[in-house]
Amino acid sequence: MKRVVITGTGAICAIGADVSSFYQALLAARSGITMHAFDWGSTLVARVSADIDSPFPKMRRIAYDRVTQLALLATGQALAQSGLERLSTPLHASGIYWGTGMGGAQTLEQTYRDLYVEHAERVRPMTIVAAMNNAPAAHIAIELGIQGPSHTYSSACSSSAVAIGEAYRAIRFGLVPMAIVGGAEALLTEGVVKAWQSLHTLATPDPARPETSSRPFAADRSGFVLGEGAATLILEDHDAACARGATILAEIIGYANTTDARHIAQPDMTGQAAAMSQAIAAAGLEPAHIQHVNAHGTGTKVGDLVETRAIRAVFGPRAQALAISATKALHGHLMGATGALEMVALVETLRNRVVPPTAHLAHADIECDLDYVAEGSRAMPGLEVAMTNSFGFGGNNVSLIARRYPHR
């Protein structure tokens, strides 16, 4: 079986319009969470601050939902870093593996407003093709001339992590030589935000410091903050990447995907532990080899406690030695795009051997008693292997393991 490496990354989110600024914001614990005023009211969100419409001509803006625009921007960054040329032979034959939870949410919201508020007699002609979940993957293929397999995964918060894992398997088994993988989400609409509010999962705004409202693993945590953005990774067969002289950023060595089959919205420790254990086994490792975990860490009362217990179940006494980060405290919860964004964070962490902190963790929950790197970013000169977790509604659990390149 083939080795799978990462040769390019791209990211756009509330704390950075590219990978470098994103990672530096993580290390500095610089939050992108704000009280934002929309035309339908003010709410706590982590919104991309840049004007993402500006790079796209008018006709493309008509055809693209915001989620597609974000996806294309992140993919452009990853492709540029990888050194691949447009329509080159390996790119032409590569695949697209993409994740999104809600696709073109803004297009759907506008359509409903047009119909039920403005009482329009007809909707915009591009509504279907802009709103469909596979629109980002389709436009990436059109832009780059990709004619290999195209897969769009939608499994809530684990969507883009599934996309990465399935692309990893496809390359590992020789189905494609290369893949563009990632996820995008742009769901900051009135309908989506209020639907999440009705579940009582969103964080209560801190009146004094709203940017600290997301507090994973803290005793006073109250939920997560919805965010938007996109992240893309270029995955390649190791030998082919070396042959073309690509700069290799990291190597993916393990992936597992499990389902709780218990509850549509309540996480299950057994399923999460199974994903971590199976990913470790797939990588040919023992739990003791994992040094750092980018936790799912949403900041909900139940979720953080279940994940802590699952980590303890997998790692036993060794769990206390893990450096654990929950970066959603800063970039918000990007739902289907979060797995890819946190994988980009993991790649940068391995490259720089500096672990980002879990921000705003002044007082940890006594039952969440692991090392969450609360003191600030931490240098780990010996960091070689790390894991990232993504757990979605519906009980889907994904763990991915990456290794520093070159490995000692």
368 among known catalytic residues:
no
User: What's phi and psi for 171, nearest 5 deg?
Assistant: -70, -40
DSSP calls for 24-42: HHHHTT----EEEEETTEE
Give the single-character DSSP code of 388.
E
Number of Cβ within a 10 Å radius of residue 207: 8
- Written as six digits, the tokens of 353 are 């051997």
157 among known catalytic residues:
yes
- Pairing of β 95-99 and β 150-153: parallel
263 among known catalytic residues:
no
Q: Is 232 helix (H, G, I), strand (E, B) or coil?
A: strand
Which residues face 218 on adjacent strands?
A: 364
d(CA 199, CA 349): 33
Considering 296, 331, 360, 368, which one is annotated as catalytic? 296
Considering 151, 157, 292, 368, which one is annotated as catalytic? 157
Number of Cβ within a 10 Å radius of residue 295: 28
Place of tokens 């936790």: 295
Residue (of 373, 347, 375, 327) closest to 32 by Cα position? 327
d(CA 206, CA 183): 29
Considering 139, 151, 331, 333, which one is annotated as catalytic? 333
- Written as six digits, the tokens of 267 are 């996480």
Rama region for 237: left / alpha / beta (φ>0; ψ in -120 to 50; rest):
beta
Q: Is 201 helix (H, G, I), strand (E, B) or coil?
A: coil
d(CA 174, CA 1): 8
d(CA 181, CA 195): 29
- In whole angstroms, how large is the CA radius of gyration of the chain? 20
Residue (of 60, 95, 56, 71) closest to 10 by Cα position? 71
- Written as six digits, the tokens of 105 are 């949410």
User: What's phi and psi for 406, nearest 5 deg?
Assistant: -75, 150
Residue (of 314, 300, 319) closest to 391 by Cα position? 300
Q: At what angle do helices 190-198 and 105-116 cross, to 10 degrees?
A: 100
Number of Cβ within a 10 Å radius of residue 219: 13
Which residues are catalytic, by number? Answer: 157, 296, 333
